[in-house]
Amino acid sequence: MVRIHRINHQRPTYDHGLLTTRGNSVNLKVHRNRVYEDVFMALVGKPAETFLDRFTVTFYNEAGLMEMGIDGGGLCREMIVAVLSQGFDPSRGLFRYNDDHALYPNPDAEALMEDFEAHYIFLGAILAKAIYEGMLVDLQFAPFFLAKIISANRNLSVDFNHLRSLDAELYRQLCRLKSYQGDVSDLQLDFTIVQCLYGKNTVVDLKPNGSSIPVTNESRVEYVNLVANYKLNTQIQRQSMAFISGMTSVLDLKWLQLFDAEELQIVISGTNNEIDVDDWQEHTKYSGDITGEEKKNSLKLFWDFVRSLNDDQKRKLIRFVTASSRPPMFGFEASFLFLFLYLHPEFTIQITSETNHLPTSSTCSNLLKLPAYQTAEEMREKFLLAIESNAGFEFS
């Protein structure tokens, strides 16, 4: 975390790592019930530079009707969050979860879809776009896969020690094999591995004629390394290469390699630290007149309400106003340095006189439009309805 902060303040030295926005605009028409599909079809095969352009999004509801609103950035952020959420969902078949609920490429993706590499390239580019735009997204990746992204090896290979973050049980079994005190030949292992696809087991040789080569005390280290290499590298080689080619078409690999795997995860999703409401309140800006007893009372009720929320509800409130559920990494103080470290524009509150309405927001400017509620009960009821259902959500 400290090193990321240092790189942030050294950013002028590393400006070559982020490509320069060209100033062009890409108009995307996106249906709510097929966000991933619409954006994929609109951008697949486009030059990498397209992802550096400004995306302007028009949403269509489930009835096919165009939604009102001018995209000043909020709709684009909402679209990117939805694309990433849907694209990395294991039900789509491109990624899987490990035991820690962290993502890695699905080894079976090639069998599930003919154009699987195009989807990995697209998702890599969209994730890089999110980083480029200063967004934090709610995606956790397996450490071994993050190590691949920043690998200096052309084949993106990682070694046995990374197997723990893919398959912890297999890692433990292989560690026991390495230290086994008996005769390994008694275990009747050979240089093969079983791969399961659609419930059917296929035996794969780990080396030429592996099925006829027994594993012995002398060869067990080779066997362990070959099993790890197959699991970590061979079976997801094309998926990983495609994803990383998409990512590095938008972000310079040398810039990504400034981070280690743990730091890169923080760059992608921020930290899971509890949200600091005192910092949030201290660095909130106010638009318009906030004088008068009623408005002062509304603000006091609002911050009391925020403090009463659990962490998940606080994140929903942040998403309601900013289109991202992840709080800025280094607090709510605005900064023109690395945007993912801070929030820009600042979180802003504007008090309105419409006390019978739900709160609304303009995510393009991180603006909360707060009705001048005068009771804690009304504040809580209206806000929980808004943040749980996105009721009152608007873009202007």
Catalytic residues: 364
Distance of CA 257 to the CA centre of its chain: 18
Amino acid identity for residue 121 in this structure? I
Q: Which residues of 198-221 are buried (b: 16+ CB within 10 A; e: fewer)?
A: eeeeeeebbeeebeebebeeebbe
Amino acid identity for residue 235 in this structure? Q
Instruction: Measure the CA–CA gap between 304 and 137, rounded to whole angstroms.
Output: 27
Instruction: Measure the CA–CA gap between 389 and 382, rounded to whole angstroms.
Output: 11
Determine contact, residues 52/23, Cβ cutoff 8 Å.
Answer: no
Count of CB atoms situated within 10 Å of the CB of 182: 8
Instruction: Measure the CA–CA gap between 23 and 53, rounded to whole angstroms.
Output: 6
Instruction: Measure the CA–CA gap between 240 and 248, rounded to whole angstroms.
Output: 12
Between β-strands 360-362 and 367-371, what pairing exists: parallel, antiparallel or unpaired? Answer: antiparallel
The secondary structure of residue 96, as a DSSP letter, is E
Helix (H) or strand (E) holding 367: strand 367-371
Place of tokens 């398959």: 167
